[in-house]
Structure 1
Amino acid sequence: MSTIELTANVRSDLGKGASRRLRHADLIPAVVYGANKDAVSIALEHRLVIKAQEQESFYSQVINLVIDGEKNDVIVKDIQRHPFKPKIMHVDFLRVVAGQEIHTTIPVHFVNEDKPAKAGGVVSHHVTEIEIACLPKDLPEFIEVDVAALKVGDSLHLTDVTLPAGVSSVELAKGEDHDVAIVTVDKPKASAADEDDADEAETDAE
């Protein structure tokens, strides 16, 4: 189901002190939960997770997590990072089961942004990911939003986004007032020099 595979070991030594010891050994404390099973505390090699998370699909696709030899299909639900070091502190994994719907967030890829820009517009992204619901087999790697047809003053909302078959928007399911803007094309902001020139022109006209 997945092209990403990680190997982990069950850990029985829990608590903040144990987590610190794991990190000093270049391991990441993590937890796996869901699918009506008990949560399991695990440890993974930091270097392998760092390498895996370089792929965008790490955050949106089903991962094959092998725990003490047992395969588990999971998705990443949360990652805690060090505030200033390039270090992962903790990972939460959610088990997924074929046939059971999951909720997760998927990155948005905006395409053809150069076209509104050439027409003098400034493309502004209001979201970078969309929360979706679907079966594991229907989980997309990303959602593509084409802005080629947008003109200055135009915008695209959630209802304008075409989702793949079997995929629905969690926000839109809450009601029409959750139809948030995804992207807009705005007028370029006038620079301070331009504003000064405009003021001088008005003064001269007087």
Structure 2
Amino acid sequence: MAVTLKATKRNSYAKSATRQIRESGHVPAVVYGKEKESKSIAVNSIDLVKTVRDEGRNAIISLDIEGDKPVDVMLHEYQMDPLKDELEHVDFYIVNMSEEMDVEVALNLEGEAIGTKDGGVLQQPLYELQVRAKPADIPEEISVDVSSLAIGDSIAIADLPKSDKYEFTDDEETTIATVVPPDTLNDVEEAPEENAEPELVGASDDEEEK
């Protein structure tokens, strides 16, 4: 079931009007879709952040625009102010609930690989997977149990359980988790020579050269 988010229409695109929108706790946005007329709107920043945090990045949002019928959308893109760490602009994409679409879904590794207990290092080359599904069938995340991985073992996309609701579009041979042997060359520190004189802490370059 889609979560509802209220929106107001934007009639002015002047910088002063945009500034007022942000100062009022809202963020300028645009909503558009395939063969759909784009509309400029504004939504409450806190409500939007809470919705994405609670429902996930790929949540279906019922956008309730004043004066219009609610429309099902997904958060498509957003821009952040790097200095203030605040939302500057948001793009919503109108979805067709009966058509498949391609999205990125977070990949979450679960468990402690047994290989790490033997000194191995768990590596995760991918943190998101490309998934094709109808909007209502998009998973919030893909969880993979890595507890059985020993040193030298790996998991590829082809090893993931198949679903009748979605499919992965990345190369099936792509590795998503692996346990590699410890790099002993980097872990072993060079021992000082037995007859080497200790370095003087805080000594100047001139003193060291003498």
TM-score, scaled to structure 1 = 0.81
How has the CA–CA distance of structure 1 residues 89 and 191 changed in structure 2, closer, same or farther, with 3 Å as cutoff? farther
- Bigger shift: 62-71 or 89-98? 62-71
Gaps of 5+ in 1: 201-206
Q: How big is each residue's C-alpha offset from its partner over 1:152-197, in whole Å with a ceiling of 9 and x where there is no partner?
A: 122222222224322122323xxx6xx4221221223448662325
In structure 2, C-alpha distance between the alignment counterparts of 1:193 and 1:126, rounded to whole Å:
22
Asked whether the equivalents of residues 143 and 163 of structure 1 are also in contact (C-alpha less than 8 Å), the reply is no
In structure 1, the partner of 2:64 is: 66
Partner amino acid, structure 2, of 1:187: P
In structure 1, the partner of 2:160 is: 161
Give SS of 1:23's match.
helix
- Say whether residues 1:181 and 2:175 are aligned partners: yes
Using the aligned pairs only, state the percent identity.
31
Gaps of 5+ in 2: 194-210
- Bigger shift: 19-28 or 127-136? 19-28
Give SS of 2:56's match.
helix
In structure 2, C-alpha distance between the alignment counterparts of 1:97 and 1:193, rounded to whole Å:
53
- The offset of 1:118, in angstroms, is 2.4
Higher helix proportion, which one? 1
- The offset of 1:115, in angstroms, is 3.5
Q: How many residues align?
A: 192
In structure 2, the partner of 1:81 is: 80
In structure 1, C-alpha distance between the alignment counterparts of 2:97 and 2:118, rounded to whole Å:
46
How has the CA–CA distance of structure 1 residues 103 and 15 changed in structure 2, closer, same or farther, with 3 Å as cutoff? farther
In structure 1, the partner of 2:41 is: 42
In structure 2, C-alpha distance between the alignment counterparts of 1:19 and 1:162, rounded to whole Å:
47
What do you get for the CA RMSD once the two structures are aligned? 2.4
- The offset of 1:87, in angstroms, is 0.9
